[in-house]
Amino acid sequence: MVHSDVSVMLKPENKPEPITNKDLFKSWFRWWWANEVPHTFDRMLAPAFLFGMMPSLKKIYKDKIMRGEAYQRHLMFFNTQNNWGGGTLTGMSISMEEARAKALAAGHPEEALDPTVINNTKVGLMGPLAGIGDAIDSGTIQYIFIAIFLPYAKAGSGWGAILPFLFFGVSTFIYGYLFTKMGYTLGRNAAKELMTGERAKTIINALGVLGLWMMGIMAGSYVKLSTTLQFTLNQKTFVIQDILNQILPGLLPLVAVMGLYFYFEKKGLKITRGLLYLTGVLILFGLIEVIL
């Protein structure tokens, strides 16, 4: 579908202005700031996405009718993760809208992207990109910062509670903007590069390894579990904990952590139930020690 009067795009005053990095930053910042504010059940995050797109669309479509049509396109149902999805799709959508406007301005409506293609591309990618973003941001990045600053909290400093969220917010804002620029530069190929590109795969795998490494450090440093069981044989006392330390220091914490891990793998992430089972097991072992 094209404008009912394509000639309006041929007028010099209606030709699209070039999109700059400043425009991309403004669109990204507005989306980042408002992405959960106008949350509705029928459109989800679409109002926030349009709010972010508006500065760029005003430069792309000088004709009010065509700009209004673009506004309507981006008010359709939309829901994705803030950085990986929102940033990438903001840049991609601006790129596609600009390509459409330029084709119309050049007098080639047959070469202009159909509006349904723009919307379908955005809607088709919002789910996969959200999955990647949720797994990396919520499942890895934030826990890396928590692990780094946990010693401050353990020492009684309030910075241990503030700094993880501060660093998480700043870092995700920065690479969300980089995704916006990448989406604009690569256009419709941006999502393919992000989801299947070798460089992206390497970064994702590296973050996964780093996240597991940090979780191992946290488990080894902050999970404290020991036994006071001992027995006497031939007038010699054997302390169970000393024997376990000779086999593998931290063996009991490792067993507890891996037990929870395999439970979550089999039953799903039922954290409360897993903690209740763990508490029950520890109480049982505690009673055994008291009895013995």
pLDDT for position 2: 47
User: Both 56 and 121 in a single domain?
Assistant: yes
pLDDT for position 22: 94
DSSP letters, 206-223, are HHHHHHHHHHHHHHHHH-
How far apart, in whole angstroms, are the C-alpha atoms of residue 127 and residue 69? Answer: 24
pLDDT digits (tens, 9 = 90+) for 79-99: 888 998 899 999 989 998 988
When the pLDDT of each residue in the chain is averaged and rounded to a whole number, the result is 80
Report which secondary-structure segment, H or E, holds 233.
strand 230-233
For residues 10 and 15, the model is more confident at 15
For residues 179 and 197, the model is more confident at 179
Residue 255 to residues 87, 225, 279: CA-CA distances in angstroms?
Answer: 41, 10, 14
pLDDT digits (tens, 9 = 90+) for 59-74: 999 888 889 999 999 9
pLDDT digits (tens, 9 = 90+) for 95-134: 989 888 888 887 778 777 788 888 888 888 888 888 788 8
User: Both 191 and 73 in a single domain?
Assistant: yes
Domain boundary among 222, 239, 254: 222
Asked if residue 67 lies in contact with residue 121, where contact means CB atoms within 8 angstroms, the answer is no
pLDDT score of 288 more than 60: yes
User: Both 207 and 168 in a single domain?
Assistant: yes
How far apart, in whole angstroms, are the C-alpha atoms of residue 52 and residue 58? Answer: 11
User: Both 269 and 143 in a single domain?
Assistant: no
pLDDT for position 173: 94
| Pick from 262, 148, 133, 153: nearest CA to 210 | 148
User: Both 213 and 237 in a single domain?
Assistant: no
Domain that holds residue 285: 230-291
pTM, rounded to two decimals: 0.67
Section 133-154 average pLDDT = 83
User: Both 171 and 255 in a single domain?
Assistant: no
User: Both 57 and 148 in a single domain?
Assistant: yes
User: Both 74 and 111 in a single domain?
Assistant: yes
* pLDDT above 70: percentage of residues in the chain: 82
How far apart, in whole angstroms, are the C-alpha atoms of residue 235 and residue 209? Answer: 49
Domain boundary among 200, 222, 244: 222
pLDDT digits (tens, 9 = 90+) for 246-266: 887 778 888 888 888 888 888
The total number of structural domains in the chain stands at 2
Lowest-pLDDT range of 41-45, 50-54, 84-88 = 41-45
